[in-house]
């Protein structure tokens, strides 16, 4: 399809297309029959071509679909078709499209080029019917760990056998070369509540037919409704990836850990030639006024989430992952490409199935969009999204410096005048009377209605790892000083209100050797080197203690915004450059501690910080955290070590 043809289609604006909303489109396979419903309103003929192999060989049958109402083409097949492959082609204006899977394909052959009839009853591991993710009473109880399937296990230091595969998550007792836990045992030991997986739907780039070490993050979706094949032990069989994906989910759930999927409905990996454009040319994408594809994703196209069949497609896809794969939450890549109404509809419909589903996204676009800014699900519209959170780039940049400039410093690396923005992160981007929003350089106003709408982080897969950025900003400092900053960053994230998010390996000073955009770099760059857990064991141990502190003390994870405003009091009167301090209480969020004081010192040198008069006990200092108390204080001045946090409590 060329640009001129798309331009003509654009002029039709699609409003006269019949929509089909009472039944789901798709190819549905059961033990003894198949139901087919394909939506292609401009087609004059639609065929399903049947193959015995997922990629090679000639077809052995061609099934003509029957036109039904509102653009739907149907067929009913008797018999057991499980494991047979197919493609679809449509005839528009006398021209047959190229063959492809239907856009809803629930199973595919190698490289996702043919669909597979799949009877899901035959894809379940043992005990699957009893599988259930952890209950999440409030989003602020979640502690998220962002992970790429391949990075997790590919290094020899992982001690895992199924390197780069879903099945690595099912190995329960793996160790690094020093005998310390790696893999899922490490996640349990650390104490995170949710793993957020980088794309695990079928993506385009990695050639699944060769296991030759090709790497990609996977932000180039091909088939949205089936797992990626390169993470399966046999990508040639469409059912294997489904079974092994479910085994991964089951193992994580058995460990008490929820599974969040990174979903990328904002664009497709193929640009003009996507399955969507082959079957319903133009409908699923936005266009500029000149008729060219608009590109708010920065990847060549953007999905028209506001069009009814596109919106329904996304919701049906999410429901499929939720119901068939027991997924516990979704992270929306470039959520700003979505319209607000679609995001709210997603929240509404998913919560009818599962009340405690966790939903959050990147509240920005990568480039301009024809969707008016007022309708975009961007960060400053978060307060209009119901039960959906946005990432706080405000907190990220306040802590470590601007993402795009490694020379830039932040609060943890000694930059002063970031304090108001750190405070803005501590209150989870809500409105709080003790913050001067004029000094919150990145936002100047609250954007979260309440703390459940803000994901606080300092690093993720994008840009430099935390360790690498700090190393570039402070090249003369050794690992001892950098470790203090990494520990302070974790301390701030895990004591702040909102939903904390950790980049995998942050807790062991993960490095990618200074590669800031490793989306297709080698394993050598991207792998988690599990021996760093030994080298920086005190950092790991501190993160583990911080997570336990957060779990033990609900004061750090308030969900009611009024309570947050009345029970979090910044000690502005004791301000010194490079420090932030505040008190929580009395009994914030029913905490057993009546009063909690949090003192943050981003300066390299020790600072004497002042506290309100009470009988304080130190619970956390720069090296250790003991919720029963490390030592009692008998004065209202306390020495806080350079680049560190102190937490104290008082019972009256
Ligand atoms: Ca793939």
Contact call for residues 448 and 139 (beta carbons, < 8 A): no
pTM: 0.97
Residue 319 lies in a domain: no
Q: What is the largest CA-CA distance in the chain?
A: 87
pLDDT value for 166: 98
Which protein residues have their CB within 5 A of the ion that is ligand 1? 202, 228-229
- Ligand 1 centre and the CA of 485: distance in Å? 38
Question: CATH number for the domain including 84?
Answer: 2.60.40.10
The helix (run of H) or strand (run of E) holding residue 398 is: helix 393-400
Residue 606 lies in a domain: yes
Residue 85 lies in a domain: yes
Catalytic residue numbers, as ranges: 333, 362
Residue 592 lies in a domain: yes
- Ligand 1 centre and the CA of 166: distance in Å? 14
- Ligand 1 centre and the CA of 126: distance in Å? 26
The helix (run of H) or strand (run of E) holding residue 330 is: strand 329-332
Q: What is the pLDDT of residues 318-334, one digit of tens each?
A: 999 999 999 999 999 99
- Ligand 1 centre and the CA of 617: distance in Å? 54
Domain boundary among 64, 96, 123: 123
Q: Answer yes or no: is pLDDT of 3 > 70.
A: no
Dihedral of CA 195/198/202/207: which sign?
A: negative
Distance of alpha carbon 529 from the chain centroid: 22
Average pLDDT of the segment spanning 279-292: 93
The angle subtended at Cα 650 by Cα 605 and Cα 604, nearest 5°, is: 10
Residue 92 lies in a domain: yes
Average pLDDT of the segment spanning 141-148: 98
Domain boundary among 123, 144, 167: 123
Residue 22 lies in a domain: yes
- Ligand 1 centre and the CA of 184: distance in Å? 24
- Ligand 1 centre and the CA of 556: distance in Å? 40
Domain boundary among 105, 123, 141: 123
Number of domains in the chain: 2
Provide long-range contacts, Cβ within 8 A and 24+ apart, for 372-376. Answer: 375/306, 375/339, 375/340, 375/341, 376/336, 376/337, 376/338, 376/339, 376/340
- CB-based contacts of 370, cutoff 8 Å, min separation 6: 286, 287, 288, 289, 294
**Host domain of residue 94:** 6-123
Residue 11 lies in a domain: yes
Residue 519 lies in a domain: no
- In this predicted model, which residue has the larger pLDDT, 179 or 22? 179
Token pair, residue 623, equals 């090296």
- Ligand 1 centre and the CA of 104: distance in Å? 15
Q: What is the pLDDT of residues 423-461, one digit of tens each?
A: 999 999 999 999 999 999 999 999 999 999 999 999 999
- Ligand 1 centre and the CA of 205: distance in Å? 7
- Ligand 1 centre and the CA of 153: distance in Å? 19
Q: Answer yes or no: is pLDDT of 297 > 50.
A: yes
Count each helix (H run) and each strand (E run) in the chain, helices first.
15, 27
Nearest CA to 442 among 429, 457, 456?
Answer: 429
pLDDT value for 9: 66
Q: What is the pLDDT of residues 472-498, one digit of tens each?
A: 999 999 999 999 999 999 999 999 999
d(CA 59, CA 53): 9
Question: CATH number for the domain including 616?
Answer: 2.60.40.1180
Query: Crossing angle of helices 466-473/479-495, nearest 10°?
Result: 130
């Amino acid at each position: 399809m060329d640009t001129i043809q798309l331009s003509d289609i654009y002029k039709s604006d699609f409003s006269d297309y019949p929509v089909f909303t009472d039944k789901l489109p798709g190819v549905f396979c059961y033990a003894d029959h198949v139901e087919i419903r394909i939506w292609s309103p401009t087609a004059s003929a639609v065929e399903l071509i049947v193959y015995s192999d997922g990629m090679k060989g000639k077809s052995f049958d061609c099934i003509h679909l029957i036109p039904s109402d509102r653009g739907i083409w149907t067929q009913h097949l008797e018999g057991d078709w499980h494991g047979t492959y197919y493609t679809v082609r449509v005839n528009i204006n006398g021209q047959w499209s190229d063959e492809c899977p239907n856009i809803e394909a629930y199973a595919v052959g190698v490289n996702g080029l043919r669909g597979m009839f799949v009877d899901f009853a035959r894809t379940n591991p043992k005990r699957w019917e009893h599988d259930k993710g952890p209950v999440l009473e409030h989003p602020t109880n979640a502690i998220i760990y962002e992970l790429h399937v391949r990075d997790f296990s590919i290094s020899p230091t992982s001690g895992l056998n199924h390197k780069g595969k879903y099945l690595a998550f099912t190995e329960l007792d793996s160790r690094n070369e020093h005998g310390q836990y790696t893999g899922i045992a490490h996640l349990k030991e650390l104490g995170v509540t949710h793993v957020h997986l980088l794309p695990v739907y079928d993506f385009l780039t990695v050639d699944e037919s060769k296991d030759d070490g090709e790497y990609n993050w996977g932000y180039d979706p091909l088939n949205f409704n089936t797992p990626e094949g390169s993470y399966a032990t046999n990508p040639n069989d469409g059912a294997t990836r489904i079974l092994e994906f479910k085994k991964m989910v089951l193992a994580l759930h058995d460990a008490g850990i929820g599974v969040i999927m990174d979903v990328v409905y904002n664009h497709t990996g193929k640009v003009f030639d996507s399955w969507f454009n082959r079957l319903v040319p133009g409908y699923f994408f936005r266009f500029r006024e000149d008729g060219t594809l608009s590109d708010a994703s920065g990847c060549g196209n953007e999905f028209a989430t506001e069009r009814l069949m596109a919106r329904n497609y996304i919701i049906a896809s999410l429901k499929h992952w939720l119901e068939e794969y027991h997924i516990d939450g979704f992270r929306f890549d470039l959520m700003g490409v979505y319209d607000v109404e679609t995001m709210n509809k997603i929240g509404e419909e998913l919560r009818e199935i599962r009340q405690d589903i966790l939903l959050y996204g990147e509240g920005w676009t990568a480039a301009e969009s024809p969707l008016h800014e007022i309708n975009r699900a961007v960060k400053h519209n978060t307060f209009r999204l119901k039960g959906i959170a946005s990432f706080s780039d405000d907190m990220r940049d306040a802590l470590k410096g601007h993402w795009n400039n490694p020379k830039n410093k932040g609060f943890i690396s000694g930059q002063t005048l970031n304090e108001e923005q750190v405070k803005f992160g501590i209150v989870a981007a809500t409105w709080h009377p003790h913050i001067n929003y004029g000094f919150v350089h990145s936002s100047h106003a609250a954007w979260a209605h309440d703390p459940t709408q803000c994901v606080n982080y300092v690093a993720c897969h994008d840009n430099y790892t935390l360790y690498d950025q700090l190393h570039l900003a402070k090249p003369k400092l050794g690992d001892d000083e950098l470790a203090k900053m990494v520990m302070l960053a974790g301390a701030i994230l895990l004591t702040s209100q909102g939903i904390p998010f950790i980049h995998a390996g942050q807790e062991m000073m993960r490095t990618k050797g200074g590669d800031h955009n490793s989306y297709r770099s080698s394993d050598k760059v991207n792998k988690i080197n599990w021996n760093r857990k030994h080298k920086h064991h005190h950092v790991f141990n501190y993160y583990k203690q911080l997570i336990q502190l957060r779990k033990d003390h609900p004061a750090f994870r308030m969900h009611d915004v009024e309570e947050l405003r009345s029970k979090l009091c910044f000690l502005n009167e004791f301000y010194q450059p490079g420090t932030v301090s505040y008190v929580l209480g009395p009994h914030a969020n029913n905490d057993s501690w009546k009063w909690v004081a949090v003192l943050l010192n981003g300066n390299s040198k020790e600072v004497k910080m002042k506290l309100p008069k009470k009988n304080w006990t130190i619970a956390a200092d720069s090296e250790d955290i003991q919720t029963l108390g490390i030592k009692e204080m008998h004065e209202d001045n306390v020495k806080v070590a350079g680049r560190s946090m102190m937490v104290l409590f008082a019972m009256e």
